[in-house]
């Protein structure tokens, strides 16, 4: 047996186990850190994650195309009673502020069938844009746990406020007005 042939397994035997253990620890560390970073919580400030939403009406909208408008992003489901409660207020916001640059976008999540979502929209006479969040991609981007949750995004695409649970016109309209008053 030559020296080299003997040396290779010896190096493996000497360093294999420590290297393996170190590798496992480091891999776990990196994965854990990435995950902890992702799960820190809802993006309560900073740039709003971009997404594309296919609306029930057929066309698609992309958040980054809505720069210079204030966006109220609302996650909802037809089975959730607070969503039903807040829908008229959202509709009123849409009616009052659409002309000054507010876009209300409804993201329908965890719905058992699209038909139910459409029935909800028709029943409550909702006029703002709505679409289904396929595979919960958008909800995951925004770390939504359960509907309803809403995010208010300013004209520069920054998340400014997060609302967990149902929102009320009287509580949010002042906020919307002040964001609309800001320059893009």
Which residues are near another protein by CB under 8 A?
A: 14, 18, 21-22, 25, 28-29, 31-36, 38-41, 77-81, 110-113, 116, 134-136, 140, 145-146
Using the minimum distance from each CB to another protein, give the nearer residue, 80 or 105: 80
Using the minimum distance from each CB to another protein, give the nearer residue, 66 or 139: 139
Closest separation in Å from C-beta 67 to another protein: 25
Closest separation in Å from C-beta 42 to another protein: 9
Please give the span between the terminal C-alpha atoms of the chain, in angstroms, as a whole number. 76
CA angle in degrees (0–180, nearest 5) for 62-65-70: 100
Nearest alpha-carbon partner for 122 in 170, 25, 57: 57
3-state secondary structure of 184: coil
Using the minimum distance from each CB to another protein, give the nearer residue, 33 or 92: 33
* C-beta atoms surrounding 99 within 10 Å: 7
Residue 94 in contact with residue 128, Cβ under 8 Å? yes
Using the minimum distance from each CB to another protein, give the nearer residue, 19 or 92: 19
CA distance 63 to 51: 6
Closest separation in Å from C-beta 5 to another protein: 17
């Amino acid at each position: 047996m030559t020296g080299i042939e003997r040396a290779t397994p010896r190096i493996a035997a000497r360093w294999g186990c420590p290297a393996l253990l170190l590798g496992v620890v480091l891999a776990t560390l990196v994965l854990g850190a990435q995950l902890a970073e992702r799960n820190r919580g809802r993006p309560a400030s900073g740039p709003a994650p971009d997404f594309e939403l296919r609306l029930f009406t057929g066309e698609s909208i992309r958040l980054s195309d809505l720069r210079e408008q204030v966006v109220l992003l609302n996650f909802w489901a037809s089975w959730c009673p607070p969503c039903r409660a807040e829908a008229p207020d959202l509709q009123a916001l849409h009616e009052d502020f659409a002309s000054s640059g507010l876009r209300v976008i409804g993201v329908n999540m965890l719905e058992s069938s699209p038909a139910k979502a459409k029935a909800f929209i028709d029943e409550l006479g909702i006029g703002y844009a709505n679409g289904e969040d396929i595979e919960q991609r958008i909800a995951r981007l925004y770390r939504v746990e359960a509907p309803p949750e809403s995010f208010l995004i300013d004209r520069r695409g920054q998340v400014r406020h997060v609302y967990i649970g149902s929102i009320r016109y009287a509580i949010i309209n002042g906020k919307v007005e002040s964001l609309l008053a800001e320059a893009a």
